[in-house]
Amino acid sequence: MSTETADTLREEVRRRYAEAARAVTEGGACGCGSGACCDGSESTDFGEGLYSLEQRGGLPDAAALASLGCGNPTAVAELHEGEVVLDLGSGGGIDVILSAKRVGPTGVAYGLDMTDEMLALARKNAAEAGVSNVHFLKGVIEEIPLPADSVDVVISNCVINLSVDKPSVLTEIARVLKAGGRIGISDVVAEDDLTADQRAERGSYVGCIAGALSRGEYIAGLEAAGFEDVAVEFTHEVADGMHGAIIKARVA
């Protein structure tokens, strides 16, 4: 991918999610139209419908409405009291808030996002939820602004497929994780027999479809970054041959 193409795609993603944050802030639902990562108001495949009523009940309405993901990584990350958690592409903050509650006052939950509007919304949601063990950082997931060996668990919800440099993302995740650290990621993943062109036919890049890795590509990428015990489990189909998936792995 050329630098110009990568920059264009990243700006398109940033603009789309800024619009979503403004729509929620102004009192509406997600403002992305019918794109896949923004279908929570009409589909249980994406967005707030993937969280239980109990989980949503303890959150500000804006946190649930701003959920644009394809899964619920906090449900599979097996978080423990006192751990440090990092959410890549934290959006309106729903997964950071839920993580902060799970790790408790002795733990910390970080959220990383590149969109000012989403960061402002997330900070507001965290304040309304009454959680203080959270920190929202501005940056891109290809260059995580945290030191090496500083995080116990990395989670992410339908964001890595939007990256323009996925090998860098996986390498950065491995860098910031402590020895034995783990990931619990929700993402859109393609079946191995789908070509890049076939994925693009099924949906747009900013709609979380065209940029998705295949299952084999995900496993190979994580192993190349130094992960072991890699597992990619399909959970529900979101387009023909494309699935919401849970990705788990551990650094040595």
Model pLDDT, residue 185: 95
End-to-end CA distance of the chain: 31
- Residue of 148 and 3 predicted with greater confidence: 148
> Which of 33-37, 70-74, 106-110 is predicted least confidently?
33-37
The two three-digit tokens of residue 196, written as one number: 């890049």
Contacts of 208 (CB under 8 A, 6+ apart): 35, 36, 37, 70, 158, 161, 162, 188
Backbone angles phi, psi at 225, to 5 degrees: -85, -5
Mean of pLDDT values over 224-241: 96
CB atoms within 10 A of CB 11: 10
> Is the pLDDT reported for residue 218 higher than 60?
yes
Lowest pLDDT segment from 10-14, 93-97, 111-115, 236-240? 10-14
CATH 3.40.50.150 corresponds to the domain 3-251: yes
| Residue, of 145 and 38, whose pLDDT is higher | 145
Inter-residue contact 177 to 199 (CB < 8 Å): no
Percent of the chain with pLDDT over 70: 81
Which range, 10-14, 31-35, 161-165, has the best average confidence (pLDDT)? 161-165
Mean pLDDT of the chain: 85
Alpha-carbon span 250 to 168, nearest angstrom: 17
Contacts of 193 (CB under 8 A, 6+ apart): 241
pLDDT score of 32? 41
* pLDDT, position 144: 98
**Contact 60/41 with Cβ under 8 angstroms?**
no
Give this prediction's pTM: 0.84
Which has the higher per-residue pLDDT, 72 or 236? 236
pLDDT for the residue 77: 81
pLDDT band at 206 (very low <50, low <70, confident <90, very high): confident
Q: Where are the beta strands (DSSP E) in 51-116?
A: 84-88, 108-113
Query: Cα–Cα distance between 86 and 206 in angstroms, integer?
Result: 22
Using the predicted structure, report yes or no on whether residue 123 has a pLDDT greater than 80. Answer: yes
